[in-house]
Structure 1
Amino acid sequence: MINVGVLGATGAVGQRFVQLLANHPWFQLTTLTASERSAGKPYGRIVNWRLDAPFPEAVADRIVSPTTVEAVKDLDIVFSALPADIAGTLEAEIAEAGVIVCSNASSHRMDPDVPLLIAEINPDHIGMIELQHDSGRDGCIVTNPNCSTIMLSSSLVPLLPKQIESVTVATLQAISGAGFDGIPGMAICDNVIPYIGSEEEKMESEPRKILGSFNGAEIEQADFSISASCNRVPVIDGHMLSVWVKAGCDLNEAKKAYAEWRAPFSGLPTQPEETLHIFEEPDRPQTRLDRNRGGGMTVSVGRIREGIRYTAMGHNTIRGAAGSSVLNAELLKTKGYI
């Protein structure tokens, strides 16, 4: 078995990592880290489990470690759910110690030698790991994108051969994206908040790296503009996007591209049967009905219409965070990096 740990195991994304890894067929979850005040105590006693999935009793008695290099240096992989201000330095130190870091944090996403990876979308970018090894790093850092970026980038892939010129996107993002304590109830109940700090900047930059080409030395970013407006809405899980794409195709060609697109590989444990599910119904996807499709790993696309315009939706803490990071690690294993 491959020994793995979770950095920041008590938060919203950390709990998702624990849920997905507790009974994973390839990975053995041996280490959970949290703040100093939680270290030394059983995970089941200190975690306030808030997921809609049952608490994995197998980790209830696992003693929580402090979030340090020393705590994880003997592991094969660590999954990072750390805040960006902590992740920046610590993830680099862990990678220098020879450990593979699969990170959900934003700190290293745009580093020129770090893959910003969606396993089925840009698997060839995994070759960027060699750039890190060439610089003397024994381990490596692999990041997954921002939650809404994952939905947008995945939904754009079938249109890439159609010469995308520009993308405009408006998001309706769930409150779980802000963490358990991120938005007071009185602020979001009966309300829509038309601002999410740094979200629009991430959505306008990250997809161009993800959908660009890796030439063996660097990423040649995708050559189209993105304009994003991000809104927080009173939904617990599931980010919805309204997308407008200017591309060199008509509606029929766009629909055909979506109908024919398939993931470049299959069979990884966390991979859904459908990376993209295409709806023909005029009122789908819907957050409550479709966010758990494919175990929360499927991105749903519907209302494809003249323009080209469509709606995309996915589960923000599974496909948009922990699930994508676990799937990235599974890809690393199949490619011989673990």
Structure 2
Amino acid sequence: MERRNVGILGATGMVGQRFIQLLAQHPWFEITWIAASDRSAGKTYAEACRWKLDTPLPPRIAAMTLQPNVPEGSAVELPKIIFAALDADIARELEPKFAAVGCAVISNSSAFRMTTDVPLVVPEVNADHLPLIEHQSWRKENGGKGGYIVTNPNCSAIGLVLALKPLEEKFGIESLFVSTMQAVSGAGYPGVASLDILGNVVPFIKNEEEKMQEEVVKLLGAAKGDHVEMLDARLTAHCNRVAVEDGHTECISIKLRKPATFDEIVAAWEGFKPLEGQHLPSAPDSPVEYDHAVDRPQPRLDRMRGKGMTTVVGRLRPCSLLDWKFVLLSHNTIRGAAGAAILNAEVLARLGKFETKKKVLA
């Protein structure tokens, strides 16, 4: 696999920091360009960023100069692969500009997730949606080798669809009831004020319920040429912010289209390994793990399974309202954000969708 130069938009935010942490030793990608807002451009990364992660800021990145968050006017050559960690309003303006100059924009933003020709992808779930990029106007330029945008879902939707995909394949899904307990890191930094969240639960996260309800049916839908036919299932979500640092917990009740036993459902999860053999650096050995303990999963104990890329499921039991109910946990800033985008980029690299090469690895 060729080693490729990459850039990061929104590099100083919480997701931008996760990108830097996860890419610092990545075997396929090398960070050569980082950008932030006008107030930070021109400063070194160390000067502009309040590093909040539990590993040291890489010295090479600390010394790099932040560039303007536009394709023009950079003092450093713009790489053709851009990881974007921007607020939706800013992403809506900036991401098309980078695609228009030929960049592959691998976005964590919600701005274009529901756009018809933009793939919304979790590779284990719907990598077959990636050909949608060929219908984007930017891609059609330069003989079909132009830029494009690929998105990953909302942090609360990713863990959910990983658990749902094997059930949809084997039994079908008719309806879902989901209630989330979402970590404060999902709100970024400084995020939720301590006096609002300590000893408290906030039963509102702006647009979160709508995102879950829209994105899940697109992720589990079928790609049909230039669009996706949404999954024919009903979903309702309650989204809550809780005083947990990292790791989103979700309680799900599900009605299946075909009857299934406890053992059949667990076997579906444990046998779900669609990326096995592809040797993608960020892909976990098991995207879904079932924990038989009566009190698991728990964020403190289980969020780093599979280096933060595995969804942990537990407490499967009959539901008196629907068919079954269970609990799941996923790391919201690794699998739910930066790690998800990096895995998307790895799949795109395997598919030959990056034209820019730096050097061949030994």
The two structures have a TM-score, normalised by structure 2, of 0.90
Instruction: Confirm or deny that 1:142 pairs with 2:165.
Output: no
Q: Distance in 2 between matches of 1:297 and 1:250?
A: 27
CA contact (8 A) 1:22 1:58 kept: no
Residue deviations 1:125-174 (CA, integer Å, cap 9, x gap) = 11111111587352000000000000111110111031210011000000
In the other structure, the counterpart of 1:292 is 304
Q: Distance in 2 between matches of 1:74 and 1:46?
A: 20
Q: Secondary structure at the match of 1:69?
A: coil
More displaced, 109-118 or 250-259? 250-259
Instruction: Confirm or deny that 1:328 pairs with 2:338.
Output: no
Q: Distance in 2 between matches of 1:3 and 1:177?
A: 28
CA contact (8 A) 1:172 1:241 kept: yes
In the other structure, the counterpart of 2:265 is 254
In the other structure, the counterpart of 1:82 is 86
Residues 135 and 78 (structure 1), Cα distance of their counterparts in 2 relative to 1, 3 Å cut:
closer
* RMSD after superposition: 1.4
In the other structure, the counterpart of 2:286 is 274
In the other structure, the counterpart of 1:242 is 251
Unaligned regions of 5+ residues in structure 1, if any? none
How big is the shift at 1:267? 1.4
CA contact (8 A) 1:106 1:146 kept: yes
Residue deviations 1:33-57 (CA, integer Å, cap 9, x gap) = 1111211111122210001222112
Unaligned regions of 5+ residues in structure 2, if any? 355-362
Q: Distance in 2 between matches of 1:209 and 1:32?
A: 31
Instruction: Confirm or deny that 1:123 pairs with 2:113.
Output: no
Instruction: Confirm or deny that 1:311 pairs with 2:327.
Output: yes
Residue deviations 1:64-110 (CA, integer Å, cap 9, x gap) = 11111124873121000011010002101110110000000000000
Which amino acid in structure 1 is aligned with residue 108 of structure 2?
Answer: N
How big is the shift at 1:124? 0.6
> Sequence identity of aligned pairs in percent?
47
Q: Secondary structure at the match of 2:201?
A: coil
Q: Secondary structure at the match of 2:63?
A: coil
Q: Distance in 2 between matches of 1:283 and 1:2?
A: 43
Q: Secondary structure at the match of 2:249?
A: strand
CA contact (8 A) 1:208 1:221 kept: yes
In the other structure, the counterpart of 2:274 is 263
In the other structure, the counterpart of 2:114 is 110
Q: Secondary structure at the match of 1:271?
A: coil
In the other structure, the counterpart of 2:95 is 91
Which amino acid in structure 2 is aligned with residue 262 of structure 1?
Answer: K
More displaced, 73-82 or 258-267? 258-267
Report 1:13-24 matches (<5 A): 13-24=15-26
Which amino acid in structure 1 is aligned with residue 129 of structure 2?
Answer: H
How big is the shift at 1:328? 0.3
The two structures have a TM-score, normalised by structure 1, of 0.97
How big is the shift at 1:264? 3.5
Q: Distance in 2 between matches of 1:166 and 1:207?
A: 12
Which amino acid in structure 2 is aligned with residue 111 of structure 1?
Answer: T
Q: Secondary structure at the match of 2:327?
A: strand
Q: Distance in 2 between matches of 1:264 and 1:305?
A: 28
In the other structure, the counterpart of 1:177 is 186
Report 1:171-210 matches (<5 A): 171-210=180-219
Q: Distance in 1 between matches of 2:77 and 2:120?
A: 23
How big is the shift at 1:178? 0.4
Q: Distance in 2 between matches of 1:126 and 1:12?
A: 27
In the other structure, the counterpart of 1:155 is 163
How big is the shift at 1:28? 1.2
CA contact (8 A) 1:73 1:94 kept: no
CA contact (8 A) 1:251 1:305 kept: no
CA contact (8 A) 2:70 2:97 kept: no
How big is the shift at 1:120? 1.5
Q: Distance in 2 between matches of 1:193 and 1:181?
A: 16
CA contact (8 A) 2:204 2:241 kept: yes
The number of residue pairs the alignment matches comes to 338
Residue deviations 1:198-219 (CA, integer Å, cap 9, x gap) = 0000010101001101122211
Residue deviations 1:219-277 (CA, integer Å, cap 9, x gap) = 11111011000000000000000001100223333223223222244411111111111
